[in-house]
Amino acid sequence: MRKRLTIVMTQEGDAQRHLVVTKGAFLNVLSICTQVERDGAVCPLTDAIISELSTYYEARGKAGLRVLALASRVVSAKGAYQRDDEREMVFAGFLPAKEKARGEILAELANVKATLPVGSVLRTGGVNPATYGVSIAGAIDLTGATPSTSFVGAVKP
The Cα–Cα gap between 143 and 25 comes to 26
Query: What distance in Å separates the CA atoms of residue 138 and residue 17, rounded to the nearest whole number?
Result: 47
Contact 28, 4 (CB under 8 A): yes
87 and 109 fall within a common domain:
no
- Asked if 92 and 120 sit in the same domain, the reply is no
Are the beta carbons of 138 and 145 closer than 8 angstroms? yes
Provide the pLDDT confidence category of residue 148 given band limits of 50, 70 and 90: very low
Q: Tell whether 109 and 79 lie within a shared domain.
A: no
Cα-trace Rg, the chain: 19
Could you tell me if 17 and 77 lie in one domain?
A: yes
DSSP lists the bridge partners of residue 74 as 19
Burial of 91 (0-12, 13-18, 19+ CB in 10 A): buried
pLDDT at 132: 60
Average the pLDDT over each of 10-19, 41-50, 52-61, 67-76 and give the range with the smallest value: 10-19
Say whether pLDDT at 14 is over 60: yes
- pLDDT level of residue 151 (50, 70, 90 thresholds): very low
DSSP assignment of 109-127 equals: HHHHHHH----EEEE-TTS
* 92/131 same-domain check: no
Could you tell me which residue, 139 or 34, shows the higher pLDDT?
34
38-49 pLDDT tens trace: 988 999 999 999
Q: What is the DSSP letter of 89?
A: E
Tell me which DSSP letter residue 11 carries: E
Nearest to 22 by CA among 3, 40, 38, 7: 7
Going from the C-alpha of 113 to that of each of 32, 80, 108, 133, the distances in angstroms are 42, 51, 9, 19
CATH number for position 32 = 3.40.1110.10
Query: Domain of 111?
Result: 103-154
Q: Give me the pLDDT at residue 53, please.
A: 96
Q: What percent of the chain has pLDDT over 70?
A: 63
